[in-house]
């Protein structure tokens, strides 16, 4: 199973356990340092993930899970 598949399954599991939407499930998942590091790596090294991260930032504004420091994207700690 790939990390991408594990991420999707983790989000599904959190949504089911806590009865939350995708954004809240992602926020919960990112409290785990392993997921936090993995997402940080992906948004800075995978062009497709980077595009999705930038879109997330535009859509959610100040409430986004991701923010930029220069050209580097970072994941907020909850």
Answer yes or no: are the C-beta atoms of 44 and 73 closer than 8 Å. Answer: yes
Please say if the pLDDT value at position 1 is more than 90: no
Host H or E run for residue 72? strand 72-75
Q: CA-based diameter of the chain, in Å?
A: 37
Answer yes or no: are the C-beta atoms of 25 and 14 closer than 8 Å. Answer: yes
Structure-block tokens of residue 73: 């994207």
pLDDT of residue 27: 95
Region 8-36 average pLDDT: 96
The domain of 55 spans: 3-75
How many domains are there within the chain?
Answer: 1
Name the average pLDDT for the chain. 95
Please say if the pLDDT value at position 72 is more than 80: yes
Rounded Cα distance, 73 and 43, in Å: 7
- Residue 44 banded pLDDT, cuts 50, 70, 90: very high
């Amino acid at each position: 199973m790939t990390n991408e598949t594990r991420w999707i399954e983790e989000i599904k599991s959190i949504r089911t356990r806590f009865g939350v939407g995708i954004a809240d499930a992602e926020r919960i998942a990112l409290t785990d340092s392993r997921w936090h590091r993995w997402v940080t790596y992906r948004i800075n090294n995978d062009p497709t993930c980077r595009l999705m991260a930038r879109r997330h930032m535009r859509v959610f504004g100040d409430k986004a899970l991701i923010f930029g420091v220069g050209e580097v994207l970072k994941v907020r700690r909850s």
